[in-house]
Amino acid sequence: MNKSALYQLSYGVYVVSTWDKGRATGCTANSAMQITSNPATIAVSINHDNYTNQCIQDTGKFAISILGENTDPGVIGTFGFYSGKDTDKFDKVKPVIKEYMPVVEDACAYIVCEVIDKMETSSHTVFLGKVLDADVLKQDTPMTYAYYHKVIKGTSPKNAPTYQGD
Amino acid sequence: MNKSALYQLSYGVYVVSTWDKGRATGCTANSAMQITSNPATIAVSINHDNYTNQCIQDTGKFAISILGENTDPGVIGTFGFYSGKDTDKFDKVKPVIKEYMPVVEDACAYIVCEVIDKMETSSHTVFLGKVLDADVLKQDTPMTYAYYHKVIKGTSPKNAPTYQGD
């Protein structure tokens, strides 16, 4: 098997956020996709080791901030390379509240979802969320993972499915 | 809700293929993402109305052909706008057999998976596949859905989650 073929799947760059007992938290994610059109549902994949996973299980809701090419790349590092357990990520990155959920203000769009199903795997939970609200925040080109690699020259956090370290 | 925010999620353009009692078949899909790294697993979302859905349920295996910017755009139309029930799509698009599964020869990479779990939604099945084989077929830039819209100026088939007709 040539694992480099897997890296040819296309992704965006997102922050998946939720509440941790009244405190906003979240993590960087690449794996989000729309599943159904009407009602609109979205699946996101979050590593068991991401603190955000447990917080989504507790609140039953999550928000997706779609990062754009002009979003401050520091957002990716803040949400991707620290744990929300001991870091107040939204102290460093300005949030905006949409449909009662914390969203990255500097994103180009957001989607707020209520968890309606989930699928467990060995390392990740795939949450299926029904879309409660969504809107564009600013005109920008959504950042692809390929752009992040080629232009921003970023790497994958260890909890990402696309992590290439092993 | 502003549904146009949902169209800012990033996708690739794929053909998801399998066997229909010894006959190769498949459909165009955008919703594929890696879920776990080790073992590598991939989730794909296929509409219940796609004939390919039932064929994957029957065979328990599927292949993903990752289309590139230089893949003949006719492949997308053949696999996206006809039903595999009454069309021999692989008569029009040359297949190559990889790990006993039919793959689009003109794709830039392929991934062959065995179904290990699934999640049902109102209109789509999310299949979780364990990767059995994967390889690059030719050097090309993977086609994004944004590229398909902007450069090839294509539309979504009615069974796609990203269908904008309703």
Interchain proximity B5–A124, CB inside 8 Å: no
Q: What is the mean pLDDT of chain B?
A: 93
* ipTM, two decimals: 0.92
Quick one: DSSP state of residue B5? G
Q: What is the mean pLDDT of residues B42-56?
A: 97
Buried b (16+ CB within 10 A) or exposed e, B147-163: bbeeeeebebbebbbbe
Asked whether the beta carbons of A162 and A30 are under 8 A apart, the reply is: yes
Per-residue pLDDT of A141-158, as tens digits, reads 999 999 998 888 877 667
Cis amide linkage into residue B157, ω under 30° from 0: no
Residue B91 burial (CB count, 10 A): 11
Given a cut of 90, is residue B162 above it in pLDDT? no
- pTM for the structure as a whole: 0.92
Question: Which of A9, A136, A143 shows the shortest C-beta gap to B34?
Answer: A9
Asked whether the beta carbons of A101 and A120 are under 8 A apart, the reply is: no
pLDDT band at B112 (very low <50, low <70, confident <90, very high): very high
pLDDT band at A165 (very low <50, low <70, confident <90, very high): low
Residues from chain A contacting residue B8 (CB–CB below 8 Å): 12, 66, 108-109, 136, 142
Per-residue pLDDT of A112-121, as tens digits, reads 999 999 999 9
Q: Give the pLDDT of residue A154.
A: 75
Q: Give the pLDDT of residue A81.
A: 86
Interchain proximity B2–A134, CB inside 8 Å: yes
What are phi and psi for residue B39, nearest 5 degrees?
-70, 155
Return residues 72-101 of A near B (CB < 8 Å). none
pLDDT band at B166 (very low <50, low <70, confident <90, very high): very low
